[in-house]
Structure 1
Amino acid sequence: MQHYLIGLAGILLILGLAVLLSANRRAIRLRVVGAAFALQAAIAVIVLYMPAGRTALQWMAGGVANLLGYANAGTSFLFGQLAADPLGKNFAIQALPVIIFFAALVSILYHLGVMQQIVRWIGGAIEQVIGVSKVESLCAAANIFVGQSESPLVIRPYLAGLTPPQLFTVMTSGMAGVAGTILAAYASMGIRIDYLLAASFMSAPGGILMAKLMMPDMPAPEPELPLGTDTEEAELVLAEATHDEERPANIIMAAAQGAQTGVRLAVAVGAMVLAFVALVALANGLLAGLGNMVGVPGLSFERLLGFVFAPVMWLLNVPWREALVAGGLFGQKIVLNEFVSYISLGQQAANLSERTVAVVTFALCGFANFSSIAIQMAVTGSLAPNQRPVIAKLGIRALVAASLANLMSAALAGLLIG
């Protein structure tokens, strides 16, 4: 009983904080936010609590695990015995090649039109259930499968005409979700696939929920297309929305282009992880020295962040004895990125309870970190230059909203797991 009360208090705290930070509380549409929360909670109950839903989620997780096995075939061919190390032991060899394989696979699925149909169907369902515009719902649905760098391409013709609240929803959805290719990389590091899949689907309504609480808007017509834009261009054509590369003529070319995109992404991820892990080590060295000077031995970057976020983690049903570690991981994710935090979680999971691992997995599953603001400035700003000042103004607010969306998913998971 106590764990339910704590979990409900955590959910109310997250909702209350979003309302407190709202730009216009009087404009909050209860029908929209209520439906968004209900959809996020319904997904959680179905896949984490109901036997049929858990079975379906395990089936999907098994499918992803099988795909990882096929990715390992390519990795083993290139690296031989090095690829046979225990899962998660060698990040560069085991996690980064998975990104390349999944990027090629997703490119093929877009070339065949499969992904477009899936995104259309999910986006249409979100539009009908929650009551947001088609542009917002399509972008939220796309973020389940692709990253914040690719999802704006889905609504590219409409970006310039979005109102600030609509653009805020697009930004929040991008930061609250994760790309399918990156999701597979997390799984290759030993993070539970079923939790990752559940968190990914919950992020779509969760992002809309927090966006509509923190920057609500009155019902508005669909954004108009710029003059001279063909209506056909406004269709969901993510597979065709390439700037530097020509549209693939066949499956082979689609796979090749996807692999090239995956290589660029893998190199960027590898460089980012290397730099941030090294910087954290440097910060820990400096803090340890400072701590010894002032009589606080064992001071570290993770410990400082843990003190800040430990109360939040406790309200998500993390035991207090583990809240400091969980809070440090979540703080690490916001300041650095989720890759660094998932690596740390994999190293400490054996010493944490099942519920704590589940809650932290959900809380970390999103792109909500400071570097994402720069990414959205670069990507969305290049597609709609007139929106750059708006993106810069809303960046921090979107980061907070996306973080709250991830915490809401974690709160629901903590309520239902264990």
Structure 2
Amino acid sequence: MSILNSLLGIAVILLVAYLCSNNRRRISLRLVSIALLMQFTFAFCMLYLPAGKRVMMWMADKVTALLDYTQTGTQFLLGGLATDKMFDLLGADGFIFVFKVLPVLVFLSALSALLFHVGIMQKLIILIGGALHRLLGTSRAESMSSAANIFLGVTEAPLVIRPYLKYLSSSEFFTILVGGIASIAGTVLLGYAQYGVKIEYLLAASFMSAPAGLLFAKLFYPETKENSDKYTTVSSMKGEKSEYRNSIDAVTQGASVGVSMALNIAGMLLALLAIIAMFDGIMMWATSFTGYEISLTQLIGWLFSPIAWLLGVDWNEAQFAGQLLGQKVLFNEFIAYANLQPYLDGSILPATGEALSVKTQVILSFALCGFTNIGTIGIAIGGIGAMCPERRGELTSIAFKAFGAAILANLMNGAIAGLILG
């Protein structure tokens, strides 16, 4: 039955995107079919094939080893507060977000700046972007930006093609925005791993987001004009100079950006969690007069549970999964992953009296992996608008439509994972 759910979900997601298209006649069937095939291939190899699983486990082990280096700096600053001794003292409460997740963001922000300065990041982006350009027929600029989104954030990835932003067609500009919102930065992705989400799932979802973003961007906004290829060449992108003076400057500036990001995330989570708790209390107080207390999280779960079911989640777990999907869209993915964490460790789901099924864990791991929350719209408009101020008005006019396309891209990743596991 779950296979049929996921197939129905994939069909519904594609139908919604088709109905939202601003020019259905210009939709490229080649692009749609190849992008969808790429998503299936990534998921099938990484979730089903033994060889693919081994490759992902190898990559996950290397990433885990990379994360372990963060501990050197963290323990120097925090001593025993940053070690696993906290779990011995506090049990499950030993996972302290400020000590476990935020230092990873600072370290990886510095590392990514260094890799960009020495040219390694550009080589990876050109390699993957060139493959997308040849396979899908998308322009060099939007392909490079989509590839960059695997490693960089919604405002950092467009920097790779910053000199060409003013030349992009409206469809390409829309694609840049969708790709940024649908993907996840490598720095933040590894922060999610600290919540117990398997790194191999996060890596697979991150790679799947590149073709998914292109797929739904081109369904919503097909190319109708000449693209920017005549302005962009691989050689010009290879020649893009680093903004840093030297490697030390790259590391220090990258660390500063990481600290700013970490503080912003910490402050945002503090405020959002407090506001959610406040509205929960208000709703439960208001509904208590009817004899039934209903919380905000329950309401979100009811609204999003049909979507979770379409992804392949069993109906008895759909309300819980719907809560997390809703929290991710309305608030952010950190809150959703934080609420998923106890059930990854085997906690009993009250609705079923059993542990959360592995299939639902995987579907949620994929579907939650993306910057698709309302706050990201403001971040994207501010960041990309600053790079190309002459197109800021166009950016604001397409932002919410791009947000919708990005949501469907993330849901498609979850549905495909559900289909393969089913």
**Which residue is equivalent to 1:340?**
335
Residue 219 and residue 35 in structure 1: after superposition, are their counterparts in 2 closer, same or farther (change >3 A)?
farther
Q: Percent identity?
A: 42
**Which residue is equivalent to 1:318?**
313
Cα drift, residue 233 of structure 1: 9.9
Give the 5 Å matches for 1:56-95. Answer: 56-84=55-83, 85-86=86-87, 89-95=95-101
Identify the range of structure 1 (339-348 vs 314-323) with the bigger mean alpha-carbon deviation.
339-348
Q: Is the 8 A contact 1:158 1:223 kept in 2?
A: no
**Which residue is equivalent to 2:385?**
381
Q: Is the 8 A contact 2:301 2:326 kept in 1?
A: yes
Instruction: State the alpha-carbon separation in 2 of the partners of residues 202 and 274 from structure 1.
Output: 31
**Which residue is equivalent to 2:351?**
none
Cα drift, residue 220 of structure 1: 2.4
**Which residue is equivalent to 1:32?**
31
Instruction: State the alpha-carbon separation in 2 of the partners of residues 341 and 207 from structure 1.
Output: 21
**What SS class does the counterpart of residue 228 from structure 2 fall into?**
coil
Instruction: State the alpha-carbon separation in 1 of the partners of residues 314 and 240 from structure 2.
Output: 43
Quick one: which of 274, 278, 281 aligns to 2:274? 278
The reply on whether 1:294 has 2:293 as its aligned counterpart is no
Extract unaligned runs of 5+ from structure 1: none
Instruction: State the alpha-carbon separation in 2 of the partners of residues 53 and 231 from structure 1.
Output: 33
Q: Is the 8 A contact 1:47 1:54 kept in 2?
A: yes
The residue identity in structure 2 corresponding to 1:135 is A
Cα drift, residue 222 of structure 1: 2.0
Instruction: State the alpha-carbon separation in 2 of the partners of residues 248 and 392 from structure 1.
Output: 34
Deviations 1:186-226 (A, max 9, x none): 1122221111000000000000111111111136232565x
Identify the range of structure 1 (231-240 vs 29-38) with the bigger mean alpha-carbon deviation.
231-240
The residue identity in structure 2 corresponding to 1:277 is L
Instruction: State the alpha-carbon separation in 1 of the partners of residues 227 and 262 from structure 2.
Output: 40
The reply on whether 1:173 has 2:140 as its aligned counterpart is no
Instruction: State the alpha-carbon separation in 2 of the partners of residues 355 and 275 from structure 1.
Output: 32
The residue identity in structure 2 corresponding to 1:99 is L
Cα drift, residue 295 of structure 1: 2.6
Q: Is the 8 A contact 1:189 1:343 kept in 2?
A: yes
Q: Is the 8 A contact 2:169 2:227 kept in 1?
A: no
Cα drift, residue 398 of structure 1: 0.6
> When the two structures are superposed, what TM-score results if normalisation uses the length of structure 1?
0.93
**Which residue is equivalent to 2:4?**
5
Cα drift, residue 232 of structure 1: 9.8
Residue 238 and residue 290 in structure 1: after superposition, are their counterparts in 2 closer, same or farther (change >3 A)?
farther
**Which residue is equivalent to 1:398?**
402
Q: Is the 8 A contact 1:329 1:344 kept in 2?
A: yes
**What SS class does the counterpart of residue 289 from structure 2 fall into?**
helix
The residue identity in structure 1 corresponding to 2:262 is A
The residue identity in structure 1 corresponding to 2:183 is G
**What SS class does the counterpart of residue 395 from structure 1 fall into?**
helix
The residue identity in structure 2 corresponding to 1:328 is Q
Extract unaligned runs of 5+ from structure 2: 349-355
Instruction: State the alpha-carbon separation in 2 of the partners of residues 118 and 231 from structure 1.
Output: 16
Q: Is the 8 A contact 1:32 1:131 kept in 2?
A: yes
Instruction: State the alpha-carbon separation in 1 of the partners of residues 340 and 241 from structure 2.
Output: 34
The residue identity in structure 2 corresponding to 1:262 is G
Residue 396 and residue 313 in structure 1: after superposition, are their counterparts in 2 closer, same or farther (change >3 A)?
same
**What SS class does the counterpart of residue 294 from structure 1 fall into?**
coil
The residue identity in structure 1 corresponding to 2:296 is F
Q: Is the 8 A contact 1:362 1:406 kept in 2?
A: yes
Length, aligned pairs only: 406
Deviations 1:241-291 (A, max 9, x none): x4xxxx131x33322221111111111111111111111111111111112
Instruction: State the alpha-carbon separation in 2 of the partners of residues 248 and 7 from structure 1.
Output: 50
Give the 5 Å matches for 1:404-415. Answer: 404-415=408-419
Instruction: State the alpha-carbon separation in 1 of the partners of residues 270 and 77 from structure 2.
Output: 22
**Which residue is equivalent to 1:104?**
110
The reply on whether 1:257 has 2:288 as its aligned counterpart is no
Q: Is the 8 A contact 1:116 1:237 kept in 2?
A: no
Cα drift, residue 129 of structure 1: 0.8
Residue 93 and residue 220 in structure 1: after superposition, are their counterparts in 2 closer, same or farther (change >3 A)?
same
The residue identity in structure 2 corresponding to 1:176 is A
**Which residue is equivalent to 2:159?**
153
The residue identity in structure 1 corresponding to 2:391 is Q
The reply on whether 1:48 has 2:47 as its aligned counterpart is yes
Deviations 1:324-382 (A, max 9, x none): 01111111111111111111111343331111111111111101111111111111111
**What SS class does the counterpart of residue 235 from structure 1 fall into?**
helix
The residue identity in structure 2 corresponding to 1:305 is I
Cα drift, residue 103 of structure 1: 0.9
Residue 92 and residue 310 in structure 1: after superposition, are their counterparts in 2 closer, same or farther (change >3 A)?
same
> When the two structures are superposed, what TM-score results if normalisation uses the length of structure 2?
0.92
Instruction: State the alpha-carbon separation in 2 of the partners of residues 254 and 99 from structure 1.
Output: 15
**Which residue is equivalent to 1:139?**
145
Instruction: State the alpha-carbon separation in 2 of the partners of residues 231 and 27 from structure 1.
Output: 25
**Which residue is equivalent to 1:267?**
263
